[in-house]
Amino acid sequence: MSSKRNRKVFSPSKFKKKLPPLPPTPFPKNTPITQGKLSVHPRGFGFVQVQKGPDVFVPKSRMNGAIDGDLVELAVDSRISGKGPEGAIISILERGRSHLVATVIETTAVGAWLYSAILGQEQRIFVASNELELYERVLVVITNWDGTVQATVKERFGSIEDPSIDIACVTQEHHISTLFPLAAIEEAQSFPLHIPELEKQRRRDLTHLESVTIDPDTAKDFDDAISLTQDEQGHYHLGVHIADVAHYVTTGSTLDLEAKARCNSVYFPGCCIPMLPEALSNELCSLKPNVDRLTQSVLVEFSQEGEALHVQIVRSVIRSRKRLTYTEALEILENRVASPHAPLLYRMKKLCFLLKQRRMERGSIDFAMTERVIRVDDRGAPTHLETIEYDITHQMIEEFMLKANELVAAKLDQQNISLIFRVHEEPSADNFQDFYSLVRILGFTLPKSPETKDLQALFQKAKDSPFFHQLSVSFIRSMKQALYSPENIGHYGLALSHYCHFTSPIRRYTDLIIQRLLFNEMDPSTDIAAVASSCSEKERKAMRAESQAVLLKKLRLARSKLQSTPDQIYEATITRVKPFALFFDIKALDLEGSFHVSELGEDYFEYHAPSGSLRGARTGKTFSLGQTLSVKLDHVDLIYLKSDWSSSLGLLRSQSK
């Protein structure tokens, strides 16, 4: 591709003018001043974690040049918004980043101008080097923050056109460590490959049980196995067997310090950055079939109605009989494939329905949403989007893991042991206003102050409608994010008073902490609150990195389709309508697009809030939620992670329930 053509496509000239900052909203003279670390959302707003009290929400217009990771001073509004306390950044006390990943968008005789997603489109980086190529991605070290941001190049990755460097760039941008220290690798490789007899004798021998693992096709770390029998009374005896990572990763060890620094594994298209070296994550701690493995087992006896009658949590040894994928398990349950494990899976299905019914009675809401996963080849180039159905096999494993996590949290709390809870705060009524509006616009009804049973009825009614996914996403967006905390405020989304994470110690540090607490192996000097805070922060960082990588891969796939079939028309569904624009989802590509009101035709479009629609004053043409459009992909911008669309804007059809 020619540089001349690309200069036009990527339009670096829009960076020539720096937009003036928005005037800050005045605060009263007695507004409290505090400081904390800023975490920025991809949409531009942020939250500041202060020493005391809830995180402070900072709108995009009040960021004052601060970026993700900065230590900032801010004024906090005493009024509480739907997102919590609101503030404005006054000054940047300390930069949280000295290194940024950036892309060359313009070259000159004296240097190059670069774009960084962290800084945004309003601020460029200047590098005094004429060696850089247009659209090359590099790691830079900032040498000057004042005025024009200046930097030097530390590492050159390659062209934006090369998909094989996507993950390297994203991990560098989000400060995600991809390599383990040699000492951690050597420690992971120092353990015997076979379990010593003395260790087996210390544990409950459960190798006689018919245990199986059920995981995605691509999984390599199997940290949970299930066994289930039924006695003459009809009682179910469930075993949730979790890899005993705490046996190998002891407090203060090199492996522990590395896992504590990472807090979690990070999953990208085609690869995983594990929390633990592969000698543990994919081998010794992975519950592979036909080998003995050390586990912590939650053994539960249930009545025929699904009530937990008796609970034991023991250290054990198991031997998985079979590694099943979700696809294989479903084929067995649907009698498409014969298997000696079919009776076990049938029992699991029955108990799953019992537990699920009790969860619904408790007030939990079941979404059962499909998932779209981007698949890539060995070079990281996207090949296709795969739809993962939330079928009964996924539901079975989820119900058993939820129950194990609940029972473990309740047991530790009953023993007055300080632990890390997984908490989910109940949202305020203000948070749900957009959701309630959407419900009414789409023709559904809810009481003025809906209870859980009303929401359950709504989603049950919407389940077979074309709006189910849209309602589910809107509801989830209305809720606050779950996090880790030593304070137990319950879990709103699951309608549970006690909940923690225990079932994935290979990939989550909080689960490893819970394993130690269960068997009194926790260092009493451990600051549980600090660990909870760190794990919440690293979880959010991993989610941002994963989201960025997935979006880039989806855009690469969209661009390849544009190049092969430039005139292809896609069906899009309007998902949001604002006074200034309408937004739509393109299911075939799993992307979101938008049209500004000025692009809707030669008419003046007025926004009608009660119906959430835009209506042309002259033509009467109306655009509202749920309608479908025929759209055409015009351009994909890999640097700014955007796609441009055009359309005749003629409705394909008006969807109705």
- What span, in angstroms and rounded, lies between the C-alpha atoms of 375 and 266? 16
Q: Name the residue among 259, 524, 521, 529 with its Cα closest to residue 420.
A: 529
Joined together, the tokens standing for residue 501 give: 């994470």
Are residues 407 and 499 located together in one domain of the fold?
Answer: yes
Q: Is the pLDDT of residue 470 over 90?
A: no
CATH (domain of 111): 2.40.50.700
pLDDT of residue 12: 35
Q: Which pLDDT score is estimated for 282?
A: 94
CB 58 within 8 A of CB 70: no
Domain co-membership, 373 together with 319: yes
Of residues 657 and 129, more confidently modeled: 129
Using the structure block, give the residue that is written with the tokens 């036909």: 290
Query: Helical H runs in 213-291?
Result: 245-248, 254-262, 278
- Both 236 and 300 in one domain: the answer is yes
Q: Is residue 70 part of a domain?
A: yes
Residues 44 and 153 in one domain: no
Of the candidates 154, 126, 132, which has an alpha carbon nearest to the alpha carbon of residue 16? 126
Between 25-34, 270-279, 551-560, the lowest mean confidence (pLDDT) is in 25-34
Share of the chain above pLDDT 90, in %: 67
Domain assignment present for 122: yes
Query: Is residue 553 included in any domain, yes or no?
Result: no
291-295, 427-431, 432-436: least confident range: 427-431
Work out the burial of residue 592: count CB atoms within 10 Å of its CB; fewer than 13 is exposed, 13-18 middle, 19 or more buried: middle
How many structural domains is the chain composed of? 5
Asked, for residue 126, whether it belongs to a domain, the answer is: yes
pLDDT at 474: 85
One domain, residues 396 and 247: yes
Does some domain include residue 175? no
pLDDT of residue 649: 63
> Residue 201 pLDDT > 70, yes or no?
yes
DSSP 8-state code for residue 470 = H
Same domain membership, residue 446 and residue 413? no
Domain boundaries, position 465: 429-478
The verdict on residue 228 lying in a domain is yes
Please check whether residues 216 and 326 belong to one and the same domain: yes
Q: Which of 15-29, 91-105, 274-288 has the highest mean pLDDT?
A: 274-288
The torsion angles phi and psi of 283, rounded to 5 degrees, stand at -125, -90
**Contacts of 380 by beta carbon, 8 Å cutoff, 6+ apart:** 163, 164, 165, 166, 167, 269, 270, 553
If asked whether residues 461 and 492 sit together in one domain, one would say no
pLDDT at 8: 30
Whole-structure pTM value: 0.89
Please check whether residues 75 and 146 belong to one and the same domain: no
**Residue 437 token pair:** 């509006």
| pLDDT above 90: residue 461 | no
Residue 173 covered by a domain: no
Structure-token pair, residue 4: 């001349």
The burial class, CB within 10 Å (0-12 / 13-18 / 19+), for 611 is middle
pLDDT of residue 328: 97
Question: Higher confidence at residue 10 or residue 104?
Answer: 104
Q: Return d(Cα 560, Cα 161) in angstroms, integer.
A: 12
- My answer on whether 443 and 525 are in the same domain is no
pLDDT for residue 298: 98
210 belongs to a structural domain: yes
550 neighbors 385 (Cβ within 8 angstroms): no
Whole-angstrom distance, CA of residue 652 vs CA of residue 573? 10
Band of pLDDT at residue 106, cut at 50, 70 and 90? very high
145 & 193 share domain: no
Domain identity same for 354 and 445: no
**Which pLDDT value is given to residue 611?**
83
CATH of the domain at 574: 2.40.50.140
CA torsion, points 505, 509, 511, 517, in degrees to nearest 10?
120
Can you tell me which residue has the tokens 């066994």? 227
- The pLDDT of 254-267, averaged and rounded, is 97
For residues 502-524, give the mean pLDDT: 97
